[in-house]
């Protein structure tokens, strides 16, 4: 490689970098699967939350009467609450020195791009978790703009004799509460530590193990472990650090609860810093997350002893 020049490594081709980073991110993009997708041409997004409810978030229903021939249809108004969310720039860069490019192993560059991809994917996941859970906050009497949930002080999921029943009962309570507002919880995010505690619990395995199914649209996600009671369970290795506890469980109706808004989607770039003899690989995204339906989210805290 006597005629080697900075930035000329085969793996640093601009198209190859973009393709590699996107492929590496695919299995970690949990946040994108949880949310609806929207694009805007601005650095702020105005969105609307349905305000046609009874004051507690329960949507009202109107009579749909039989209508005679040539008769006018009954009309009703739709009340919307206006909200705003800022779109912010997020990004990260990976530095590759001249020495790494000319004499280093190709695996070094691949590991760097893998770390870049996984960190950018986790950025979207963290935005989604915090927005959907309202910063992992559960209040005793939620208003129409607050999510539902509970903080447990007993009947834990790792109980040696009743863990499986406690797990099932909490899921039933969560699903029933969401149904009151017209939503169907279909996804749960948990930590690896919680997964381990449940898998080690014999009562849980006896009550739950034989009824676990598969959700076809989520099987490619790295942390997907199966479906139970119509809820797809996903294990995210960063969920404990993001949520502040290993035993939090975030349940939601996927896509309905909120939107991922991109002013500019994922972009990758590469440039050389000749004065430092190094090449920089960059990934950026201009994004925001909105919580459109708080009652489509349910947070359970402190499920372990």
Q: In this structure, is residue 132 part of a structural domain? A: yes
71 pLDDT above the threshold of 80: yes
**Overall average pLDDT of the 226-251 stretch:** 94
Q: Which residues pair with 281 in a beta bridge?
A: 94, 270
Q: Are 74 and 63 in contact (CB under 8 A)?
A: yes
Rounded to two decimals, what is the model's pTM? 0.88
Q: Which residue has the tokens 């996107």?
A: 22
**Overall average pLDDT of the 219-231 stretch:** 79
- Predicted confidence band of residue 52 (pLDDT cuts 50, 70, 90): low
Exposure of 18 by Cβ count < 10 A (0-12 exposed, 13-18 middle, 19+ buried)? middle
**Overall average pLDDT of the 75-95 stretch:** 85
**Overall average pLDDT of the 228-232 stretch:** 91
The pLDDT score that the predictor gives to residue 13 is 87
Q: In this structure, is residue 68 part of a structural domain? A: no
- Predicted confidence band of residue 221 (pLDDT cuts 50, 70, 90): low
Tens digit of each residue's pLDDT (9 = 90 or more) over 146-204:
999 999 999 999 999 999 999 999 999 999 999 999 899 999 999 999 999 999 999 99
- The residue ranking higher by pLDDT, 49 or 211, is 49
Tens digit of each residue's pLDDT (9 = 90 or more) over 125-142:
999 999 999 999 999 889
The pLDDT score that the predictor gives to residue 254 is 96
**Closest to 234 in 3D by CA, of 225, 243, 244, 247:** 225
Q: Which residues, at least 6 apart from 129, have a Cβ–Cβ distance to it below 8 Å?
A: 31, 136, 189, 239, 242, 243, 250
What CA–CA distance (Å, rounded) separates 234 from 192? 9
216 pLDDT above the threshold of 60: no
Q: In this structure, is residue 212 part of a structural domain? A: yes
Please count the structural domains in the chain: 1
Q: In this structure, is residue 52 part of a structural domain? A: no
1 pLDDT above the threshold of 60: no
The pLDDT score that the predictor gives to residue 115 is 94
Give the C-alpha distances (Å, rounded to integers) separating 286 from 88, 265, 280. 5, 6, 20
Helix (H) or strand (E) holding 205, with range, is helix 202-208
Q: In this structure, is residue 144 part of a structural domain? A: yes
Copy the structure tokens of residue 116: 């870049």
Residue 91, number of CB atoms within 10 A of its CB = 16
**Closest to 128 in 3D by CA, of 227, 19, 257:** 257
Q: What is the CATH number of the domain that holds 140?
A: 3.90.1690.10
Question: What range defines the domain where residue 8 resides?
Answer: 1-44+83-305
- Predicted confidence band of residue 26 (pLDDT cuts 50, 70, 90): confident
Q: Is 298 helix (H, G, I), strand (E, B) or coil?
A: strand
Strands 231-235 and 35-39, sheet pairing:
unpaired
Tens digit of each residue's pLDDT (9 = 90 or more) over 87-117:
999 999 999 999 999 998 888 888 999 999 9
What CA–CA distance (Å, rounded) separates 250 from 242? 12
Please, which contacts does 197-202 make with residues 24 or more away whose CB atoms are closer than 8 Å?
197/157, 197/158, 197/247, 197/304, 198/157, 198/158, 198/163, 198/167, 200/158, 201/157, 201/158, 201/159, 201/160, 201/163, 201/164, 202/160
Q: In this structure, is residue 203 part of a structural domain? A: yes
To the nearest whole percent, how much of the chain has pLDDT over 70?
A: 90
Q: Which residue has the tokens 């099987």?
A: 219
Q: What are phi and psi of 18, to 5 degrees?
A: -60, -45
Q: In this structure, is residue 260 part of a structural domain? A: yes
Q: In this structure, is residue 57 part of a structural domain? A: no
């Amino acid at each position: 490689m006597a005629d080697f020049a900075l930035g000329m490594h085969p793996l640093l081709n601009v198209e190859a970098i973009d393709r590699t980073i996107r492929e590496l991110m695919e299995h970690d993009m949990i946040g994108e699967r949880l949310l609806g997708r929207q694009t805007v041409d601005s650095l702020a997004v105005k969105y609307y939350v349905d305000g046609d409810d009874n004051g507690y978030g329960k949507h009202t229903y109107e009579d749909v009467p039989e209508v005679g021939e040539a008769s006018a249809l009954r009309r009703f108004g739709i009340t919307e609450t206006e909200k705003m969310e800022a779109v912010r720039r997020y990004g990260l860069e990976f530095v590759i020195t001249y020495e790494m490019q000319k004499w280093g192993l190709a695996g070094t560059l691949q590991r760097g791009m893998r770390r870049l991809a996984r960190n950018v994917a986790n950025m979207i996941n963290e935005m989604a978790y915090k927005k959907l859970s309202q910063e992992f906050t559960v209040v005793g009497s939620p208003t129409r703009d607050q999510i539902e949930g509970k903080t447990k002080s007993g009947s834990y999921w790792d109980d040696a004799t009743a863990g499986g029943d406690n797990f099932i009962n909490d899921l039933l309570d969560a699903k029933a509460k969401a149904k009151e507002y017209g939503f169907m919880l279909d996804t749960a995010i948990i930590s690896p530590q919680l997964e381990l505690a449940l898998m080690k619990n014999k009562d849980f395995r006896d009550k739950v193990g034989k009824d676990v199914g598969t959700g076809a649209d989520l099987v490619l996600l790295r942390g997907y472990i199966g479906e139970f009671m119509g809820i797809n369970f996903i294990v995210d290795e960063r969920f404990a650090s993001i949520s502040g506890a290993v035993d939090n469980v975030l349940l939601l109706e996927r896509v309905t609860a909120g939107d991922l808004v991109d002013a500019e989607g994922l972009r990758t770039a590469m440039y050389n810093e000749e004065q430092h003899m190094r090449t920089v690989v960059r990934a950026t995204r201009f994004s925001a997350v909105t919580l459109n339906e708080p009652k489509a989210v349910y947070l359970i805290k402190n499920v372990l002893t």
